[in-house]
Amino acid sequence: MPPTNRWVIPPPRKTLVVGVADMAVSNDASAEIVTYSLGSCLGITIYDPLKKIGGLLHLMLPDSNIDATKAAEMPYMFVDTGVPRLFHAAYNLGADRTRLVVKVAGGSQLLDAQGVFNIGIRNIESFKKLLAQQGLNIHANDTGGVSSRTLRLDLANGTTTIKSPGSELYAL
């Protein structure tokens, strides 16, 4: 009888990287979605635990009215145009609105220590207002402060993790 291999190496995980003003939605439970360098930007994750459908949006600004042309070209740049697209993409894969777990990170004052523009705060407020209008809640958040964040969503189980410079990885 041949010797058995006692060590099982799991297959490598697929990583979907979301850039600035970008989004990814998937139903591939073997994947994770990640975005880097969240400063004043927001990283928003949604996840349907029954269907294992999740998405991540990395947005920059609260309101597309500042530049309609840019909003048409890059809708994921703004809260008001990106967030609805994130939810609709998840619904199109079969996610159910009533099961979605919503988490958000970012919104720091990283490059605006004097609070002149308050982009991070304005992003957070705009996102909360949009969710409230739709009757949805934020289940967990790590927003504000003065550090950047890396945000990951594991599509196998919905675990959302955050890593900031000088801190340990933790679940949101």
- Catalytic residue IDs: 41
Distances in Å between the Cα of 11 and the Cα atoms of 52, 132, 145, 157, 161 are 19, 40, 37, 17, 21
Give φ, ψ of 169 to 5 degrees: -65, 135
Beta-sheet strands, E only, within the chain = 14-18, 22-26, 31-38, 42-48, 53-59, 101-106, 140-143, 149-154, 160-163, 170-171
CA distance 152 to 164: 12
CA distance 74 to 89: 16
